Amino acid sequence: MIRAMAAFVAVASVSAAVSAHAAESVGHPATTAVYMNRTDLRDPAAVKVLYGKLARAAQDVCTTGAIGRFVGRDADQACMQHTLDAAVAQVNRPLLTAMHLKSVQTSLARGY
């Protein structure tokens, strides 16, 4: 069953310190929308595309431009991980969750 979802997944940073840093000029956490219209969440290829969109949105929301292994870059990484975790949880579909868990395990194994 293909679900035509008019709704969107709001990808938002909810970590107060990071969101304050990322969106200090506007006074609220940065957000972006990832639209899932006609995405078949039972199709692994479609889920892979959606996961990529969610990961890019998390990166867009959380990247501050920090360079190197400074606190800002580490905060960006933490924000991206937290934001992607929240987005996957919000979609709450088995294939997407499994893909995310595999990605997290791979990252941890590589030391990221």
pLDDT tens digit sequence for 15-29: 322 333 344 434 457
More confident residue, 10 or 104: 104
Please tell me the total count of domains within the chain. 1
In a domain, 22, yes or no: yes
Residue 79 within any structural domain of the chain: yes
How does DSSP assign 46-76, residue by residue?
HHHHHHHHHHHHHHHHH-----SSSHHHHHH
pLDDT for the residue 98? 96
| Domain assignment present for 1 | no
Higher pLDDT, 53 or 20: 53
Question: Would residue 2 count as lying in a domain?
Answer: no
pTM of the model: 0.70
Q: According to the model, what pLDDT value does residue 67 have?
A: 62
What 3-state class would DSSP assign to 19? helix
Q: What is d(CA 97, CA 61) in angstroms, rounded to the nearest whole number?
A: 21
Q: What range defines the domain where residue 68 resides?
A: 8-110
Enumerate residues 6+ apart whose C-beta is below 8 A from 104.
81
